[in-house]
Amino acid sequence: MGILEGKRGLILGLANDKSIAWGIAQACHREGAELGFNFLGEQLERRVRPLAKKVNSRFIEALDVSDDAQLDAFFDKVKEQWGELDFMVHSIAFANKDALRNPFSTTSREDFRLALDISAYSFIACAQRAAPMMKAGGSMVTMTYLGAERVIPGYNVMGVAKAALEASTRYLAQDLGKQGIRVNALSAGPIRTLAASAVGDFRKLMEKSARGSMLGRNVSQNEVGNTTAYLLSDLASGVSGEVHYVDAGFHVGSGDPGIE
Ligand code: NAP
């Protein structure tokens, strides 16, 4: 019997089979969960539907998390179809490419607003709509990165957004804990995905991360998926408000991946 047997959950942020959300979906499906997905726009719908089918999902609906009306409509449909919810994964981030390529000190108000809105506030917006459906308690997990607490060249405004996301995780954990809902963040090492391609010199970042990690390599989307499945499951029933690293131990290293 899988660790998520009998549980129903949403995985938000599946774009393609390279997405971290796909690693999470496969792990949760293997562990027995029934899954629901969102997609952003028609182009992505064509990619998300076949993937969702592979994990026997029957809930696939449009959702742009920057739009309150779409958020309301999406979660109304979840309520209509499922009534109750056991878990939610938030695997969504966005920043304008220019804001990641130009010096951080030149970040515009609009680029800051956009990155923080989609990459951090949207977790709160989804959590406040999902929580009332978690009548028997539940678990929420969001995806973050080390750039929240250290300066990672090229990560720029996304680092500030991830810092807000991690702080939001702790405040949500405090509020929703009263309803038996656990809220955690998973800090993944670099993985080649669509979103990652926006980060300047990502190849170099991956090389440095592998060299500076305890295991001497990078992590896979499956490893992130397996740890997320654990955090969503009752095996992690005592874990909340945590930032859990899945980065092959890089964050406990010297901080200078150039040193051999
Ligand atoms: P990804 O496959 O590109 O996933 C990012 C997802 O966010 C996409 O599905 C994207 O849709 C979606 N998104 C962006 N704006 C949205 C909006 N307004 N409404 C709804 N969805 C929206 O890349 P990923 O690397 O798996 O990213 C997933 C999460 O992991 C992100 O939070 C990312 O910061 C985090 N993370 C990634 C890494 C890494 O190295 N890859 C490391 C640590 C943490 P579109 O494609 O249509 O924009």
Cβ–ligand 1 distance for 160 under 6 Å, the answer no
Which tens digit of pLDDT belongs to each residue from 165-210?
999 999 999 999 999 999 999 999 999 999 998 887 899 999 999 9
Whether 245 is a known active-site residue: answer no
Which burial class, exposed, middle or buried, applies to 46 when counting CB atoms under 10 A from its CB (0-12, 13-18, 19+)?
Answer: exposed
Q: Contact at 8 Å (CB) between 20 and 247?
A: no
Q: How confident is the model at residue 43 (pLDDT cuts 50, 70, 90)?
A: confident
Tell me the β-bridge partners of 135: 137
Say what the alpha-carbon torsion angle 152, 153, 155, 159 is, to the nearest 10 degrees: 40
Three-state DSSP class for residue 141:
strand
Inform me whether the pLDDT recorded for 256 exceeds 70.
no
Q: Contact at 8 Å (CB) between 124 and 92?
A: no
Cβ–ligand 1 distance for 20 under 6 Å, the answer yes
What contacts 203, CB < 8 A, 6 or more positions away? none
Inform me whether the pLDDT recorded for 259 exceeds 50.
no
Question: Is 0.85 surpassed by the pTM of this model?
Answer: yes
How does the average pLDDT of the chain come out, rounded?
96
Cβ–ligand 1 distance for 191 under 6 Å, the answer yes
Among 194, 202, 228, say which to mutate for ligand 1: greatest number of ligand atoms within 8 Å of CB: 194
Cβ–ligand 1 distance for 91 under 6 Å, the answer yes
Q: How confident is the model at residue 260 (pLDDT cuts 50, 70, 90)?
A: very low
Whether 121 is a known active-site residue: answer no
Cα of 203 vs centre of ligand 1, distance in Å, is 18
* Atom 28 of ligand 1: nearest residue by CA position: 91
Q: How confident is the model at residue 255 (pLDDT cuts 50, 70, 90)?
A: low
- Angle in degrees, 0-180, between the axes of helices 156-176 and 122-130, rounded to the nearest 10: 20
Q: How many other C-beta atoms are found inside a 10 Å radius of the C-beta of residue 175?
A: 14
Which tens digit of pLDDT belongs to each residue from 47-66?
999 999 999 999 999 999 99
Please give the number of the atom of ligand 1 that sits closest to the Cα of 192: 41
Arithmetic mean of pLDDT, 137-154:
97
